[in-house]
Amino acid sequence: MDMVSLQYIYFHASIKELLIFRDNEHLPFVAMPFFIMDNLLFKASGVFLIAMLLALNGLIAGLVTDELRRAWGNRHKLSLAAAASFVVMALFWLIHYENLLWPKQIHMYLSAAFFVLASRVLVGIDERMRSAAPPDWGRIMGVAALFSASTFSFGYGAIGWIAALMLVVTGRWPWRATWSLLAVFALNAIVYAAFYNYSTLEYHSSPLTSIGSPLELAKFTVVYFASPAYALLNNHMAANLLSLAASLAGLWILFRNLLLRRHSVSRVELFACLLMLFGFGSALMTGLSRMKFGLEVATAPRYAIAQVQFWIGLWLIAAVTLRKPLQAWKTPIALSCLAVAGLFVLSQVRYARMIEVMSQAHWQGVLAVINGVADDDVLSREIHPDRQAIEALVPDFSKRHWSVYANPQPWWLGQPTRDLFRVEAADRCRGSLDLVSDLGRLKGQSYVEGWAWDKQAGRTPEWVVLVDGAGIVRGLARSGLKRPDVERAFSAAAGSAPGWHGYVAAPTPLAGTEAYAVLADGTSICQLTRNAPPKAGDGVH
């Protein structure tokens, strides 16, 4: 939905307004050039942005793993490989599905990556300071630039600044270095205050009000960190108890490492503390601004990148400090790691199924747009609540052949089938048009459903076209729906999701309109029957 808002500004406002776009309380200025690049170079497909998301996630995984390598050395390659696997699993886990698959979320990953990179440089500077080396002003200014980039990618970057200043102050850095970082932080705060979208205070929680409810903030934090635990354990009580224990342990570790033994703590422990501070700070920031929406908002998948960093930080502390004491427990620990890996696999399967359902729901919205059908319920839920914004963007995308209009399928509408396809014999495929309905809400337009199977290719056709009596394509439909009845009747179709759905901008019952499956070669079609449920032994094997 937020992509619609961004694209509306891109097409209908100035480039200046886009570059200083304010996303609720966040100022993602650094992310805006990436959106522009995706539009101009990749036709607003989102492919570039998603590739960047994955690359940034890989960078975070690499930085965390390399910090552990510094602590362990190169002699423990097997242990390091196992540790790296867990970091990668945690970061590429499908709990992050909103972030990893939603192009707009690049601002969160830019912020997180800049923060982790800045933290690496910061602990390196701190290590030099403790060895009485003179301040490296190039690195200090580099840290300031990275934290600033994090802040102006997503608001969580401000937490990085606060965490860094805590480390600098408790480490008793030379006053010039400390005041230089404080000055850049103050400049960040002034710019943020100047551009801040104060209207968000009207429909989000006011931080000044929320801060007066410390118990509610504590509950929010526990639920916030419980989200990844629940994704693994699939049990709310166990996840909340584990989160509570981890939160208390994290607070004690921060107090111990940053105050009680600051000058003896190792580099990797400081790095882990910064990750945990980022997690605690993001929980606090989210709670202060979202408290009015209830505790369930703490479980939103878009926050997983911050939640997981807390758990990774805690895990780094355990890996470094408990590695030697637990040498005698190698076998139980190895079995425990395998059990956790198994839980990751089960969690991935659950998320994959959920994402498949969500994908089909989103495609229904896209099909409504392509077919020009005013299914407002679906459009408001899957595309954007402002129908006028959608209507304004469709011609912007279509005339440039961007987004879904970069593909050939939307351009089939209104074209004679003889100019697009070769009609094959009906026995090349099986399937039918099973449902034509106005869904009780469409006015003079129709929703269609059915199933299809390409016998020669042995798979489900991706697209189905609805053709009127004059041979003109009047509607598009796409496959991917589960059809247990079809899968029971045809063993070859099991697990293939042979159901399809779409729209036709014409009233029911669509007399004279026929459905044709677009076969695997993309240039031929095969007519489907109408209202013919599948039967076992019907010729598909």
Q: What is the pTM of this model?
A: 0.91
SS3 assignment, position 212 = coil
94 pLDDT above the threshold of 50: yes
398 pLDDT above the threshold of 50: yes
pLDDT per position as a tens digit, 345-362: 999 999 999 999 999 999
Question: Hey, what amino acid is at 263?
Answer: H
Average pLDDT over residues 361-390: 94
337 pLDDT above the threshold of 70: yes
- The radius of gyration computed from the CA coordinates of the chain, to the nearest angstrom, equals 27
Instruction: Identify the band that residue 540 occupies on the pLDDT scale cut at 50, 70 and 90.
Output: very low
Average pLDDT over residues 226-234: 94
pLDDT per position as a tens digit, 431-485: 999 999 999 999 999 999 999 999 999 999 999 999 999 999 999 999 999 999 8
Cα separation, 276 vs 254, whole angstroms:
8
If you ran DSSP here, which 8-state letter would residue 424 be given? P
Residue 1: what pLDDT?
Answer: 59
Lowest mean pLDDT among 95-109, 163-177, 269-283: 95-109
Cα separation, 486 vs 116, whole angstroms:
50
Cα separation, 193 vs 305, whole angstroms:
25
How far CA 250 is from CA of 286, 308, 316, 364, 446, in Å, comes to: 18, 13, 12, 44, 56
Are β-strands 529-530 and 514-518 bridged in parallel, bridged antiparallel, or unpaired?
unpaired
If you ran DSSP here, which 8-state letter would residue 425 be given? P
Residue 493: what pLDDT?
Answer: 81
Are β-strands 514-518 and 524-527 bridged in parallel, bridged antiparallel, or unpaired?
antiparallel
Cβ 272 vs Cβ 252: under 8 Å = no
Q: Which long-range contacts (CB under 8 A, 24 or more apart) does 404-408 make?
A: 404/366, 404/369, 404/370, 406/43, 406/44, 406/45
Residue 330: what pLDDT?
Answer: 63
- Higher-pLDDT residue of 533 and 365 is 365
pLDDT per position as a tens digit, 38-76: 999 999 999 999 999 999 999 999 999 999 888 887 767
How far CA 466 is from CA of 155, 446, 500, in Å, comes to: 47, 11, 12
Residues in CB range of 531: below 8 A, 6 or more apart: 432, 433, 434
> What are the beta bridge partners of residue 524?
422
- The structure tokens 């354990």 sit at 233
537 pLDDT above the threshold of 50: no
In 308-428, at which residue ranges do the beta strands (DSSP E only) sit?
422-423
pLDDT per position as a tens digit, 99-126: 887 788 899 999 999 999 999 999 999 9
Cα separation, 375 vs 367, whole angstroms:
10
**The most confident of 11-25, 368-382, 487-501, by mean pLDDT:** 368-382
- The structure tokens 């170079």 sit at 41
Cβ 295 vs Cβ 219: under 8 Å = yes
Phi and psi dihedrals of 143, rounded to 5? -60, -45
Residue 79: what pLDDT?
Answer: 78
363 pLDDT above the threshold of 50: yes
Average pLDDT over residues 315-344: 77
Dihedral sign computed on CA atoms, order 6, 11, 13, 19: positive
Cα separation, 336 vs 332, whole angstroms:
6
Average pLDDT over residues 325-342: 73
How far CA 540 is from CA of 419, 424, 460, 535, in Å, comes to: 30, 17, 12, 10
pLDDT per position as a tens digit, 263-275: 889 999 999 999 9
Cα separation, 18 vs 36, whole angstroms:
9
